[in-house]
Amino acid sequence: MKFVIVAKMQFLRSVSLKKTIIFISLLFTDLTVKYFVFHNIDLYQFIKITEILDITHIHNFGVSFGLFSGTIPSFFLVIIAMFVVFFIIFLYLNSKDALERWGLFIIICGAMANIIDRFINGYVIDFIYFHINQFYWPAFNFADIYISIGIIMIIFNMVKKLNNR
């Protein structure tokens, strides 16, 4: 328990007011749009925005892209996700690279938004649906975009470091 308190204090010390505002803004945006979708779009309804983009309302009971849907109870998925977030916070606290820290921070924002959604509903609401002709990408949400952007930032940073050697 003492380790958790120390880690929490280190994390809070390392997060600036700017990052706190960004964290709250990203969570608020994701959860507000999910709330709007839940209350205004029928389940499995598709609203065409462009030729390749629809807005929909899908309940994701699994992890990424619905993997393990229905096989793992949502309570366990929340616990597993929290352990992953704690590990990412550990990486964040031990990182000395600014771009890597921002990438990890944005991943934490997205993961927390999906954890909160799953904790409240027992599933994650996905609503962005891309398709080209007969090719479909699984539905996703803003939190998934945050996680993807964070991963891209970390990969970009790794490639940049490899090229500088």
Residue 136 phi, psi dihedral angles, 5° rounding: -120, 135
Q: Quick one: DSSP state of residue 43? A: T
What is 62-97 written as a DSSP string?
Answer: SSGGGTTTTTS-HHHHHHHHHHHHHHHHHHHHH---
Q: Which residue of the set 30, 54, 117, 144 is catalytic?
A: 144
Q: Which of 30, 54, 117, 126 is catalytic?
A: 126
Q: Is 144 a catalytic residue?
A: yes
Identify the burial level of 145 via C-beta atoms within 10 angstroms of its C-beta, where 0-12 means exposed, 13-18 middle and 19 or more buried. middle
42 is catalytic: no
- Confirm if 146 and 107 have CB atoms less than 8 A apart: yes
Q: Active-site residue numbers?
A: 126, 144
